């Protein structure tokens, strides 16, 4: 397949996926973003950089993560053969470490002396704080004050790891506001500071760089499925906030036209209620945080607040490559509600002995709906991108259990 | 010739630099915001930047963030912002003071660049300063702005090196806005020496007038800038005077307008006196 009819060729040299993506940032940042792009392009083809990253992935993060056949769940649902890509078993408990190790290595290579990050659920913050501890680089994590409250265990973890956590009270005090504040810090410190973005969004080259680091998920899945079943999977399912775990799983399969690919957004109280975080299902294209993508907004372009039980999906935007994949029809995007995710969270705990994070519980909620309707020989892979330890307090509260 | 260009020619003829004042449209409410806009030229503003409030103003510090929140709470919208400018032109008969809309690109994108430019022109707007539209994306706006005779003021920063500057200048018209500090609006100030060096560097590459902003808070600082640049831009410090004119419940006190205007008169006096000595 050549570049012209490939779904994997983007972005173009200006960072566009169709009309999406780009670099909508203040001029102060622009020269540094161009430097970052150059540094990343050089690192990407440098065997020493690749070798160092692979070494860290293997011996520090614990890759490859297993591809696990969920036999009991498969039997119970009576349809597709369900596999989990166990990225929740990575060091720090989610897929976020895949991207962070790459970016912090790059920061070191660029001679940056300070790293900043935004975080929602705290998983990206914990991963960044972890890598910064490992490389002995000062780290500041911006986190909405609402999230600081609902993800207290991760806040403590970041502090243990030596990072400074700055609560953000502006706006809705969640992930988007944390990102605003990180960008404000970066504009003032750009010469010494590396901004480690946690998802496949932001100005070019972040969406493709983060995708490249996360694609290890999909590459391993291909090999593992070939080894287990002798063929590629039929169906891929992943949850989507900004979309990094999904892009990591999907991207290596985009040109395999027989592989059905489904992204699951956070439907909150239901997309029809207006209280949700499903920007592809319920939003329109617009410009925020350095890129053009689908956003939740009013007719003037004011960003509206997202709602989700999952802090990691509580974001009114989405990575620009997902926006493009929706418009060209390569990937299906659906949503699951808070309640469906909560039910899935409990189900997986009991049936497979795995407590998932609330984020992949959204993907699982869709699997619970979809799998029974698929034939038994349909090989379905769901990215189990995070573990639920961080969520037990929030879920207990929601279920009315006092700890 | 655009109003912006005409105004800078007039300032040049008078042998002085100009004062550019930023206020947020709709802050603290629609009526008082209009009264502020209307009174700016008489208080000494040579050009006006009218901020389009945005929920997520990534390049702005706490003062302008709060002003935008007050305005959104008061019900500002793009239609109402255009209506404010239309009313200003109709009531004041001021056909000389340029009004530039300042803000973020999503406001333009949602209306569509073509319609936004046509609506802006019809309202009496003279151009745009769009914080998150670097030259890499500016080709979306430029043709429509040009077709309507609107200026696109691009920002340059201390990080904009000599190699990159021509790319920025290619899309710039009206004047060049030099962001004098690394950072967001209203948080820190540059030194007169550093500004002088940057302005001299810019002058070797452009004949456009140069305005300097971010971090100018006092008449003395405005005067320092006016000695070397063609205009001094003051935003956060003015917006803070608006806030100082509000009571505990956020309602405007009687001294709000006098407070804002006397501060602008002091800035204007600083700018006007700069080259006299």
H/E segment holding residue A292: strand A290-295
The C-alpha atoms of residue A378 and residue A374 are separated, in whole angstroms, by 6
- Is B276 a residue whose pLDDT tops 90? no
A403 CB near a chain B CB, below 8 Å?
Answer: no
**Beta partners for residue B129, in sequence order:** B102
Which candidate in B27, B46, B60, B240 is catalytic? Answer: B60
Percent of chain B past pLDDT 70, that is, above it, reads 100
- Is A288 a residue whose pLDDT tops 50? yes
Quick check: B132 and A286 CB within 8 A? no
- Is A242 a residue whose pLDDT tops 60? yes
β pairing state of B127-130 and B99-103 = parallel
B116: closest chain A residue by CA? A300
Task: Please state the rounded mean pLDDT for residues A262-266.
Answer: 98
Mean pLDDT of chain B: 96
Q: Which of B77, B106, B153 to mutate to test the interface with A (most CBs of A within 10 A)?
A: B106
Q: What's the pLDDT at B91?
A: 98
Q: How far is CA A31 from CA A37, A38, A180, A349, B136, in A?
A: 10, 11, 19, 48, 11
Q: What's the pLDDT at A312?
A: 85
Quick check: A28 and B58 CB within 8 A? no
Whether CATH 3.40.50.800 fits B3-273 = no
B179: closest chain A residue by CA? A28
- Is A386 a residue whose pLDDT tops 90? yes
User: A3 pLDDT band (50/70/90 cuts)?
Assistant: low
H/E segment holding residue A83: strand A81-85
Show residues of chain B in contact with A171, CB under 8 Å: 55-56
Task: Provide the residue count of chain B.
Answer: 277
Size of interface A-B (CB pairs under 8 A): 116
Three state DSSP letters for A319-367:
CHHHHHHHHCCCCEEEEECHHHHHHHHHHHHHHHCCCECHHHHHHHHHH
Q: Which has the closest alpha carbon to A370: A241, A266, A238?
A: A238
Q: Which of B64, B134, B164 to mutate to test the interface with A (most CBs of A within 10 A)?
A: B134
A135 within 8 A of A161, measured Cβ to Cβ: no
- For the stretch B215-228, pLDDT in tens is 999 999 999 999 99
Show residues of chain A in contact with B179, CB under 8 Å: 26-28
For residue B91, indicate whether it is catalytic.
Answer: no
Task: Provide the residue count of chain A.
Answer: 403
The C-alpha atoms of residue A170 and residue B60 are separated, in whole angstroms, by 12
Eight-state DSSP code of residue B102? E
Q: What's the pLDDT at A390?
A: 87
Task: Please state the rounded mean pLDDT for residues A392-397.
Answer: 91
β pairing state of B99-103 and B231-234 = unpaired
- For the stretch A308-341, pLDDT in tens is 999 889 899 999 999 999 999 999 999 999 999 9
3-class SS at A19?
coil
User: A130 pLDDT band (50/70/90 cuts)?
Assistant: very high
For residue B137, indicate whether it is catalytic.
Answer: no
Task: Please state the rounded mean pLDDT for residues A277-282.
Answer: 95
User: B277 pLDDT band (50/70/90 cuts)?
Assistant: low
Task: Please state the rounded mean pLDDT for residues A178-207.
Answer: 96
**Is the complex ipTM higher than 0.90?**
yes
The C-alpha atoms of residue A239 and residue B93 are separated, in whole angstroms, by 57
Q: Which has the closest alpha carbon to B137: A26, A182, A361, A242?
A: A26
Show residues of chain A in contact with B158, CB under 8 Å: 28
User: A1 pLDDT band (50/70/90 cuts)?
Assistant: very low
Number of H helices, E strands in chain B: 12, 9
Torsion of CA A362, A364, A370, A372, to 10 degrees: -150
- Is A4 a residue whose pLDDT tops 80? no
Q: Give φ, ψ of A156 to 5 degrees.
A: -65, -40
The C-alpha atoms of residue A359 and residue B175 are separated, in whole angstroms, by 48
> pTM score, two decimals?
0.96
- For the stretch B82-132, pLDDT in tens is 999 999 999 999 999 999 999 999 999 999 999 999 999 999 999 999 999
- For the stretch B152-173, pLDDT in tens is 999 999 999 888 999 999 999 9
Q: Give φ, ψ of A23 to 5 degrees.
A: -140, 85
- For the stretch A51-102, pLDDT in tens is 999 999 999 999 999 999 999 999 999 999 999 999 999 999 999 999 999 9
Distance from CA of B5 to the nearest CA of A (A): 23
- Pick from B155, B158, B187: CB nearest A26: B155
């Amino acid at each position: 397949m050549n570049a012209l009819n490939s779904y994997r060729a983007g972005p173009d040299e200006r960072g566009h996926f169709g009309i999406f993506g780009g670099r909508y940032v203040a001029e102060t940042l622009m020269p540094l973003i161009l430097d970052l792009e150059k540094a990343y392009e050089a690192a990407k083809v440098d065997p020493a950089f690749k070798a160092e990253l692979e070494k860290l992935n293997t011996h520090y993060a614990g890759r490859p993560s297993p591809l696990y056949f969920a036999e009991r769940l498969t039997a119970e649902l009576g349809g597709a053969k369900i596999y989990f890509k166990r990225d929740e078993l990575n060091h720090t408990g989610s897929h976020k470490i895949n991207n962070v190790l790459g970016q912090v290595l790059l920061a070191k290579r660029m001679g940056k002396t300070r790293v900043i990050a935004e975080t929602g659920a705290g998983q990206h913050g914990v991963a960044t704080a972890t890598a910064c501890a490992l490389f002995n680089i000062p780290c500041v994590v911006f986190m909405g004050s609402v999230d600081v409250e609902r993800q207290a265990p991760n806040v403590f973890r970041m502090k243990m790891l030596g990072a400074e956590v700055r609560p953000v009270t502006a706006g809705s005090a969640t992930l988007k506001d944390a990102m605003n504040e990180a960008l404000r810090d970066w504009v003032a410190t750009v010469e010494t500071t590396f901004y480690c973005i946690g998802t496949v969004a932001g100005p070019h080259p972040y969406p493709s760089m983060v995708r490249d680091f996360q694609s290890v998920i999909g590459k391993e899945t291909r090999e593992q499925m070939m080894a287990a079943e002798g063929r590629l999977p039929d169906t891929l399912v992943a949850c989507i906030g900004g979309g990094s775990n999904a892009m990591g799983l999907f991207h290596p399969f985009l040109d395999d036209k027989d592989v059905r690919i489904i992204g699951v957004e956070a439907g909150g109280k239901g997309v029809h209620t207006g209280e949700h975080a499903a920007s592809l299902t319920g939003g329109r294209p617009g410009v925020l945080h350095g890129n053009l993508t689908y956003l939740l907004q009013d007719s003037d372009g004011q960003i509206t607040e997202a709602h989700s039980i999952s802090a990691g999906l509580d974001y009114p935007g989405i990575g620009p490559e997902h926006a493009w994949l929706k418009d060209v029809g390569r990937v299906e995007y659906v949503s699951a509600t808070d309640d469906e995710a909560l039910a899935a969270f409990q189900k997986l705990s009991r049936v497979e002995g795995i407590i998932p994070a609330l984020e992949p519980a959204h993907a699982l909620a869709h699997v619970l709906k979809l799998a029974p309707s698929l034939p038994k020989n349909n090989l379905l892979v769901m990215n189990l991108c995070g573990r639920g330890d961080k969520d037990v307090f929030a879920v207990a509260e929601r279920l009315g259990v006092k700890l | 010739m655009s109003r912006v260009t005409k105004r800078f020619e007039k300032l040049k003829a008078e042998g002085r630099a100009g004062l550019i004042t930023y206020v947020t449209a709709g802050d603290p409410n629609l009526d008082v915001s209009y009264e502020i806009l209307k009174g700016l030229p008489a208080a000494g503003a040579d050009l006006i930047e009218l901020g389009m409030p945005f929920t997520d103003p990534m390049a702005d510090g706490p003062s302008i963030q709060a002003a935008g929140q007050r305005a959104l709470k008061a019900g500002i919208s793009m239609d109402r912002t255009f209506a404010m400018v239309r009313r200003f032109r109709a009531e004041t008969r001021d056909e000389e003071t340029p009004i530039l809309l300042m803000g973020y690109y999503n406001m333009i994108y949602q209306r569509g660049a073509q319609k936004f430019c046509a609506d802006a022109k019809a309202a009496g707007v003279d151009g745009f300063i769009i914080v998150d539209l670097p030259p890499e994306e500016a080709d979306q706006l430029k043709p429509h702005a040009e077709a309507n005779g609107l200026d696109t003021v691009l920002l340059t920063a201390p990080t904009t090196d000599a190699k990159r500057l021509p790319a920025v200048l290619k899309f710039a018209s009206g004047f060049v806005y030099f962001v004098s500090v690394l950072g967001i609006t209203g948080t820190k100030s540059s030194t007169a020496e550093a500004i002088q060096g940057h302005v001299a560097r810019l002058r070797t590459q452009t004949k456009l007038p140069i305005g300097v902003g971010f971090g100018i808070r006092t008449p003395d600082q405005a005067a320092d800038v006016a000695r070397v640049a063609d205009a001094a831009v003051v935003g956060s410090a003015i917006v803070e005077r608006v806030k100082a004119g509000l009571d505990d419940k956020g309602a405007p006190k009687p001294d709000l307008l006098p407070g804002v205007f006397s501060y602008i008169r002091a800035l204007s006096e600083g700018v006007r006196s700069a080259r006299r000595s």
